[in-house]
Structure 1
Amino acid sequence: MLLVFKVVVATAAAAYAVAAGVMYIAQRQFIYFPDPARTSPSAADLPDVSERILSTPDGERIVAWYAPAKPGQPTILYFHGNGGALELRRETIRRYLDRGRGMFMMAYRGYSGSTGSPSEAANVADAKLAYDSLVADGVNPEDIILYGESLGSGVAIQVAREKRVGGMVLDSPYTSILELASQHYPWLPVAWLLKDRYDSIGYIAGVHVPLFILHGEADNVVPVEMGKRLFAAANEPKEIRTIPGGGHVIHDGPTFALVDDWITRLRASRLHSAN
């Protein structure tokens, strides 16, 4: 009996070690779900949007869609979530353009025709490159509003720690990928295994820009409690709106109206302060 027990324990331990090893090797496949298809803005029925290519210091090419803002309007520097392509966000882009806002949406490595493979370090570095590209084009940093969608919230926060911007919107944000992974894979020692941690709760104290958080109360991907905790840790000025019954990353008219209203009030406040 003792021998059988030892065999069972050894087999279970070996199976666990193999599973942990597989998860370690393939971990980024559980974080990033790129759609590599490259679609032009015109094919997505966005005639006022142009494609831009950002060349990275390490030799990759990042695809971005860009439409300048109307006079007196801000530009949204948008960091998307972990799945899909730029084309998937075409209605979001159209809504902002219809309001005169500018839009610069970059595709992470491996997404929408961008070369390379995504990682936290690469995504954040490329996001800063996108910011620098906008500023080099003559966009005033105070006229740049960062928008982080889900995974992109962790990218936006790291950009906001180092770059001057007018404000930041976080859509369905998490406290950290480490904590999120621990909830989804409680049987794994993720604290030992995880490479891309996106420690937003640790970085948010270093962010000093107006903040707006939007989160669905029925989000089953990133619990709304994470958004609330991130909000509590953030500096003023800040606002949060939770959507009753809302799921993960709600891109519809009513939620757009909430963000758009915040941007309008933010801009009005800035103009009032300037006068």
Structure 2
Amino acid sequence: MWSGKLLSIVLPLVGFYLVVVGALYALQRPMIFRADMSPAPPDLHAVPGFREVSYRTEDGLDLRALHRPAAAGRPTLVYFHGNADGLSGSIRVTAGLAAEGYGLLLAGYRGYDGNPGSPSEAGLHADGRAALGWLAANGVPAPDTVLVGNSLGSGPATELAASFPVAGLVLISGYTSLPDVAAPVYPFVPVRLLMRDRFDNIGKIGRVAAPVLILHGTADRTIPFGHATALAAAAGDRARLVPFEGAGHELVGSPALFPVIGRWLDGLRRRGHGTLN
């Protein structure tokens, strides 16, 4: 009798749990990649100092991006923006670097800024490879580039830095992996088993031969500061970790951020990485 009553309670709860887990599994990409929340893309032909470029990915997508050539003796930075952002935000947060004469390729993602396709881990990696391919075809080889990834963008930036001989890697509010970010948010769901897009930065950063700069706010609640310390430890003596006391996940908008990057780039130039000599 009691077993029957217990089953009548437990079975609906189990069924409800399975429905919730199934829904989270099915909807995980729209939940992860918030292209729908990105600001409206700018008129790319009207951005001072930049020109609109387009490059084709290996799976046949033509993506829009913005390019600004480097001044003499300056490297080109490839900037991978965060989630719920796009080229408008990329222009704003890199303005200080543009003013110092650094070259910039503000990378476009599939599904963002009106670009075709739907975002995924494999897709964003392909988009990044297409961006580096475009630069190489236009006279800027990988050793003359520094990759900069903010938040979500730390995934493709780390993947590319582990795969190409770039001059440097900068991670802003980066994560060890997406499952590490999501698991504490959904403690009753087997996140590590179900996530399709993993962006395993902690497993890749050890293969990055270039110097690595890691910038992270100590009060970041979206991607806690522990992710930064773990990434720095995994990168070893190639990494420099700079904590920003009291800063949260919007660190990329801080005016204090890009002078730190500029000084680090000056250090690379003194050590002779790519065109940083």
- Which has the larger displacement, 165-174 or 251-260? 251-260
Pair 1:260 & 2:248 matched: no
Identity across aligned pairs (percent)?
37
Please report how far the alpha carbon of residue 235 of structure 1 lies from its aligned counterpart in structure 2 after TM superposition.
3.5
Indicate the residue corresponding to 1:127 in structure 2.
Answer: 128
Indicate the residue corresponding to 1:109 in structure 2.
Answer: 110
How many angstroms apart in 1 are the aligned matches of 2:235 and 2:264? 17
Post-superposition, which runs of at least 4 consecutive aligned residues in structure 1 deviate over 3 A? none
How many angstroms apart in 1 are the aligned matches of 2:96 and 2:39? 24
Indicate the residue corresponding to 1:221 in structure 2.
Answer: 222
SS at match of 2:97: helix
String of CA shifts for 1:157-197, please: whole Å, max 9, x gaps. Answer: 11011111111100011111111111111111112211000
Indicate the residue corresponding to 2:246 in structure 1.
Answer: 245
Q: Which runs of 5+ in 1 are unaligned?
A: none
Please show how residues 37-186 of structure 1 align to structure 2 within 5 Å. Answer: 37-43=40-46, 46-186=47-187
Q: How many residues align?
A: 273
SS at match of 2:146: strand
Counterpart contact for 2:58–2:126, Cα < 8 Å: no
CA 1:244–1:85: 2 relative to 1, 3 Å: same
Letter in structure 2 aligned against 1:70? A
Indicate the residue corresponding to 1:270 in structure 2.
Answer: 272
Counterpart contact for 1:41–1:47, Cα < 8 Å: no
SS at match of 1:192: helix
CA 1:223–1:78: 2 relative to 1, 3 Å: same
Counterpart contact for 2:172–2:215, Cα < 8 Å: yes
How many angstroms apart in 2 are the aligned matches of 1:122 and 1:142? 23
How many angstroms apart in 1 are the aligned matches of 2:145 and 2:202? 23
How many angstroms apart in 1 are the aligned matches of 2:56 and 2:81? 19
String of CA shifts for 1:102-124, please: whole Å, max 9, x gaps. Answer: 11011211101211000000100
String of CA shifts for 1:216-249, please: whole Å, max 9, x gaps. Answer: 0000000100110110010432211001100014
How many angstroms apart in 2 are the aligned matches of 1:83 and 1:52? 22
Counterpart contact for 2:110–2:119, Cα < 8 Å: yes
Q: Which runs of 5+ in 2 are unaligned?
A: none
- Which has the larger displacement, 195-204 or 31-40? 31-40
